[in-house]
Structure 1
Amino acid sequence: MKSGLRLQDTTLRYFLEVVKYGSISKASEHLNVASSAISRQINNLEDIVGTTLFERRPRGMVLSVAGEMLATYARKNALESNRVISNIAALDGLNRGHIKISCYEGFAMDFLPRCISKFRKEHDGINFNVNVSTPDDITRRVIHDNADIGITLSYSPAKNINVAYQQPSPIFAFMHPTHPLASKEAISLTQLLPYAIALPEENTTIRQLFDISCSRLNLLFEPALVSNNIATLCHFSMSEGGIHLAGEVTMRHILTTKKLVAVPIRDKGMGIRNIEIQTLSGKTLSVVVKLFLEYLIEEMQSEKLNYEL
């Protein structure tokens, strides 16, 4: 790096947008800044550090080794700035701030909005943005600082992720109380074969574990219904259409109405996933994010249902 030269916030912000979108033109659209201005800033930045930061390819721009190092520094610098600003705002009785959360659909149906509502009764100046994504996308959003907190399902550790809380999330069979299997203490996948079953799509952890377990047991199911919408699967079972599979947290609010019952599935492969509350490893959380994170974990622990498999 040339001596006496400093990296400016605007330059680093443009640099990170190019990193995020993989092209100057897409960064230009997002920032509403001319492509030429962004290109000029990137060229100036490469001149300051004395090396190439991107490999220019036909389908976009990929970070060089030096670019990876600078991106790590720039992200930490941006995170620290956001943390300081949030902490200053939080000095006003913890009644100001903004929290970004990314979670899977089941968590967004009841538990999370209920937690936010209860939390805001004491901190009504704190606002939330909740993004519903797939488990892999949730983790990516946390890593790229598009979410302060991620609530996801996982069965393996993720790089650059701090797991603030974890609890098992086995898969249950949910059915109408009048269903022939509703009185069972536990069932196997084999026992489900004679009955209509509703399944989520293949990009979900439930479907992946179900398919792996069925393959191992040489079971072939023809689902009566496949959907990417949890509510659709739930109402199928509530209407006595058959059985659907889900985690306990997803269906917790429905179970309290007695409109469905949950029966544990005893096959070991159906219980290896975990609920994880994630934050970015190495990131210093703002006061308001830390406060809500602690509240979220307490709520999850207090409401946890202890089913025995």
Structure 2
Amino acid sequence: MKASLRLQDTAIRYFLEVAQIGSISEASVRLNVAPSAISRQISSLEDILGAVLFERQPRGMKLSAAGEMLAAYARKNALESARVVAEIDALNGIEKGHINIACSEGFAMDFIPRTLSNFRQQHPGIHFNLKVCAPAEVATLISRGDADIGITLSLSPTKDIKVEYRQPSPIMAVFHPTHPLAHKKTVSLSQLQPYPIALPEENTTVRQLFDICCSRLNLLFEPILESNHMASLSRFTAFGGGIHLSGEISMRHQIATEELIAVPIRDRGMDVRNIEIQTLSGRTLPNIIKVFLAYLIVKMKHEETIGF
């Protein structure tokens, strides 16, 4: 019998749980199944496939090359099953569904909540789950099948990720309206140096590009505030505490109300990142996700054309 015909749903489910968590004991708690039962199912899969799926390590389980291939197959298969169920519902005239979105923090501050609210006015039966994470983690959630659509800032291509839409997102200097530099057409990093500055942590594209450019220009900044919370940096600037750096889309409402002023930074390298709307490569999306994806891209394009 072909191995593909003998893969059991239960075994695959246990396998994916261990693959995600990296531990049989933790997977047993999540699944409410004895660790020995999980081990037997994984061993059965390995016998069927004739390959080792995990590297057993002192601190957990790491997928082997064969395990990575099976995990990718299993995740896509699970997503395809969910799509078929959604399409059957659509045949019965039921417009309902659940869309999982992953995005980096800047998009969660204004753009995504506003887009979801507007979309649900036309499609009230659609429910959303929004997970906010570091930019690099967005692609990971999509590849694992934990997110249908990702919106993030990217510096380079990612394996297994299809970029549905891309647009430039240069880093801006953000000022209180009374700041001496607030009404310049552009500023340089050297012009910012005399003033108090607040910066995000190192796992953000803003901080990574800022540090690279400062190193190249031999500039040294001592931030008066560092935070993993972009909204706090924004509020700090709004209260007159200092400058911070951001993409303009993150500051949409505050810029429109003139609470804050965003000015382009003209130094080379501060404009090399892109906004990406991402999905899983090779996946056939359910119709309702296609509809929302198209709506999302239109909103993003529209805001690009009006200068945001």
The reply to whether TM is greater than 0.5 is yes
Report how many aligned residue pairs link the two structures.
308
CA distance in 2, matches of 1:62, 1:49: 18
Distance apart, 1:294 and its partner CA: 0.6
User: Aligned partners of 1:187 and 1:151: how far apart in 2?
Assistant: 28
Residue 49 of structure 2 is aligned to residue 49 of structure 1: yes
Q: What secondary structure, in the 3-state scheme, does the structure 2 residue paired with 1:304 have?
A: helix
* Counterpart position of 1:288: 288
| Offset, 1:82 | 1.4
RMSD: 1.9
Q: Which residue of the partner structure matches residue 181 of structure 2?
A: 181
Larger mean CA deviation between 130-139 and 15-24 belongs to 15-24
Q: Structure 1 178/32 Cα, relative in aligned 2: closer, same or farther at 3 Å?
A: same
Number of the residue aligned with 1:33: 33
Report the equivalent of 2:119. 119
Q: Which residue of 1 aligns with 2:303?
A: 303
Instruction: Encode CA deviations 1:29-58: one digit per residue, 9 max, x unaligned.
Output: 221222122122122222333443333222
d(CA) in 1 for partners of 2:123, 2:94? 7
Q: Distance in 2 between matches of 1:5 and 1:225?
A: 57
Structure 1: 5+ residue stretches without partners: none
Please say which of residues 47-56 and 188-197 is displaced more in the overlay: 47-56
**Contact 2:162–2:278 under 8 Å retained in 1:** yes
CA displacement 1:133-190 (0-9 Å, x = unmatched): 0011111111111100111111111111100010101011111211111121111001
Call closer, same or farther: CA 1:11–1:194 in 2, change over 3 Å. same
Report the equivalent of 1:243. 243
User: What secondary structure is seen at the aligned counterpart in 1 of 2:301?
Assistant: helix
| Alignment correspondent of 2:68 | 68
Tell me the TM-score normalized by structure 2: 0.94
> CA distance change for structure 1 residues 135 and 231 in 2, over 3 Å: closer, same or farther?
same
User: Per the alignment, in what secondary structure is the counterpart of residue 182 of structure 1?
Assistant: coil
One-letter amino acid matched to 1:266: R
Amino acid at match of 2:171: I
1:199 to 1:4, Cα distance in 2 relative to 1, 3 A: closer
Distance 2:9 2:187 in 1: 58
Counterparts of 2:117 and 2:286, CA distance in 1: 20
How many Å separate the matches in 1 of 2:195 and 2:161?
40
Q: Structure 1 residues 94 and 265 mapped into 2: Cα distance closer, same or farther (>3 Å)?
A: farther
Aligned counterparts of 2:157 and 2:13: Cα–Cα separation in 1? 30
